[in-house]
Amino acid sequence: MKETSELVPVPDGRRPNVLRPELLPPARATRVFVQGEIESLKLTDYAGILWRRKAPLFLMTLLGVLGALAFSLWQRPVYRATATVEVSEGNDDPLRGAVAGNTPADGSLQGAVHTEASLLREDSQIEQVVRALGLDSSREFESPRGLSGWVRERLGRKESPLATRRTSQAVAALREDLTVEVPRAGNLIRIHYEAHDPVLAANVSNKMAETLIEQRLQTRLDTTRQIAKWLNPQLAELRQNLDRSELELQKYAQSQGLLYTGAGESIGAQNLRLLQEELARARAELIAKQSQYETTVAGPAGTAALGVDDRVLQENRLRLTELRRQLAELSSVQRPGNYKVARVQAQIVALEAEIQQERDRGRKKQQQDYEAAKIKEQMLSRAYAAQSAFVSDQTVRATRYESLKREVEVNSQVYEAMTQKAKEAGIMSAVRPSNIRVITVAKPPSQPYKPSLPLNLGVGLFVGLAFGVAYVVASAHSDKRLHTPGETEQYLNLPELGAIPTNHLGLSTRLRGSNGHARRFAAAAWGDRTSVFSESIRATLTSLLYAGDATAAPKLFAITSSLPGEGKTTVVSNLGAAFAEIDGKVLLIDADFRGPQLHKVFSLDNRHGLSDLLTGEDHSGGPVLHELIQETEIPNLSVLTSGAAAGRLTSLLHALHGPRLKQVFERLREEFDHVVVDVPPSLVFADARIIARSTDGVVLVL
């Protein structure tokens, strides 16, 4: 850092500030840590590091945000269109009734969804979309010939035809921008496509969905046709088997004399059943006739006419009853031989004879009916026995017949089922249902999907902040400077005399003074006594006065720094002013021959000075020394400038190793109460270490 400690006029009515150490601001440096402390850093330590170096941190964060903004503005907008399809359950087997997609064998709908999603990523599927939309002739999907084409040409190998190469390039480009999303839950598939043209993005997404549905339909149609093609010879074979089994059944029935009705019952079994029914009725009738006949034969005479016409018998009985009544009436009034009585008696005898005849005819008829029923029952019994024997013989032969019949039935059922399925397959191939349908049709998006300005700015902010933090932390670990009070004693094992803060004046501020303005110079104890800077100078002065043993404080000491620009000249001038404030004679010596500054600070002549004393070009007598020492406008403060050192650096370095410097310092020690020597930076030049051997101590400004 360049020294800027020069005197400037201070306006009347204002108290000037003292010169300050021209140190870098704390935010531009971090602490120096030893290995043990680095391992025990706390979060507050890192926070302090980031706060002290907030300027580069903010700059790198800002650069990250600006870079993200520039990247977003530089990118071409990319639009994303989405088409959504639904996959429903089904079966691809037309013989099972429902035509659907490629459902896995386990019937898992989620498996079917993933299968369809995988088909969307196949090159064959993408190539159909490329050809349908004519993307192979679009410039957006063309890629440069590339190094591989040039190498093949040099090696004498032929490249693929132009059309094939363009199609392959378009397929690769479309697949790169295509995204197929399958949600974890549900049976939906989202088809995303990104393109610079929003209309193209929507067209590709919709065409991918349409192509998937068409491919599924075509696959099912081909499957149905293949099944129908396979079924035709199978049906012919089944028909042959059915005809063969029916013919074999018919021949066996004819050879064995087996006749069956349409209900599947043989004629013999049917006749046996009918005979059994007739025999049962005949036996019932025989029992009834036998009962009537035996009752008539064994019963009284009045019951003998049960087999005669009841109406005629009842009329005759009524007439007989009437005649007997008339006879009784006539017998009461007529004599027994009266003709009327005889006539009635004759009618009664004739009527009784007629009734007896009717009874005889009835008894005879019952006997005839009984005999007929008995004969019928016997005949039916013989017929039933014969038919039963015939049916029993047919039962043995019907076992083979039933086996052949079942074979015919099975062949007939299989043939009918296969015929029905073949018809259904033909109908379903014509209907062409699909288990995939479009839920959401992709529309040209109005807003670009990429670049996302908020996302890019967030990423840029994060990246810039991360690099900024890394840079700040890394630079803090590599920075070996000290910035907080107490670090000197901790890390250098040296007593710390004081901490002088940065002045509120800017780095370009110069305190210039001339003539009558010297007393307005900003001295620590003589100028603005209430400033923090003045108090820090006084505190440093106090530490310096008591830095030696208890009996004697250091009287002549040198002030140096590690590197140029760290403010040693500012500290020398302000400490000199502070020493002068306590009513002691103070001398400031500018021993920095390569970069003298004290004559500029106090506006003094630098043609002659310490260099003349050391090289011997001027006599060392008392009057000469006093002539080289110049008074300042600050009371009790004098300055011995460095003098012109141009061309005499070699002789000056030689003189520093001789006794002359020590003699001069001893002389000045006797004449002044305090002598402060401004020496060059210790890490750059060896002058500081040589001069320090002749002083009471060295003050290091960091």
If you average pLDDT over residues 144-163, what whole number do you get?
52
Q: Report residue 245 CA to chain centroid gap.
A: 65
Residue 50 confidence (pLDDT)? 80
Once rounded to an integer, what is the mean pLDDT over residues 437-458?
84
The C-alpha R_g of the chain, in whole angstroms, comes to 69
Of 575 and 136, the structure prediction assigns the larger pLDDT to: 575
> Residue 264's pLDDT band (boundaries 50, 70, 90)?
low
Contact yes or no for 100/480 (Cβ under 8 A): no
Q: What pLDDT sits at residue 330?
A: 76
Binned at pLDDT 50, 70 and 90, residue 456 comes out as: confident
State pLDDT tens for residues 243-258: 887 787 777 777 766 6
pLDDT (tens digit, 9 = 90+) per residue, 29-88?
Answer: 333 333 334 444 566 767 777 887 788 888 988 888 888 888 878 878 888 899 998 888
Using one digit for the tens of pLDDT, what is the confidence trace for 388-421? Answer: 776 666 666 667 677 777 888 787 888 788 787 7
Residue 561, strand partner residues: 701
Q: Among candidates 674, 616, 604, which has minimal Cα distance to 640?
A: 604
Q: Which class is 481-701 in CATH?
A: alpha beta
Shortest CA distance to 597 belongs to which of 678, 656, 506, 533?
Answer: 678
Instruction: Decide: 215 and 128 in contact? Cβ < 8 Å.
Output: yes
Confidence of residue 289 (pLDDT cuts 50, 70, 90): confident
Residue 688 has pLDDT above 80, yes or no: yes
Spell out the residues 6+ positions from residue 598 whose beta carbon is closer than 8 angstroms to its own. 569, 572, 573, 588, 590, 604, 639, 641, 642, 678
Contact 211, 129 (CB under 8 A): yes
349/94 Cα distance (integer angstroms): 100
Mean pLDDT for 374-383 is 82
Q: At what angle do helices 453-478 and 54-74 cross, to 10 degrees?
A: 150
Q: What is the DSSP letter of 40?
A: T
- Greater confidence (626 vs 396) lies with 626
The stretch 152-177 carries a mean pLDDT of 69
Which residue has better confidence, 208 or 43? 208
Residue 226 has pLDDT above 60, yes or no: yes
What's the rounded Cα separation, in Å, for the pair 254 and 618? 164
Q: What is the pLDDT of residue 672?
A: 92
Please give the C-alpha separations between residue 225 and each of 97, 100, 143, 239, 353, in angstroms, as whole numbers: 15, 15, 42, 21, 100
What 3-state class would DSSP assign to 175? helix
What does the pLDDT look like over 102-120, one tens digit per residue? Answer: 444 444 777 888 888 888 8
Mean predicted lDDT score pLDDT of the chain: 74
Domain with CATH 3.40.50.300 in the chain: 481-701
Q: Give the predicted TM-score (pTM) of the model.
A: 0.42
Strand partners, 701: 561
Q: Taking residues 535-555, report their average pLDDT.
A: 76
pLDDT bin (cut points 50, 70, 90) of residue 679 is very high
The reported pLDDT for the residue numbered 398 is: 66
Q: What is the model's pLDDT at position 678?
A: 94
Q: Which pLDDT value is given to residue 14?
A: 38
What is the pLDDT confidence band of residue 310, given thresholds at 50, 70 and 90? low
User: What phi-psi label fits residue 401: left (phi over 0), alpha (psi between -120 and 50 degrees) or beta?
Assistant: alpha
- The rounded distance, in Å, linking the Cα atoms of 53 and 472 is 7
Task: State percent of the chain over pLDDT 90.
Answer: 5
Phi, then psi, of 143 in degrees rounded to 5 = -125, 150
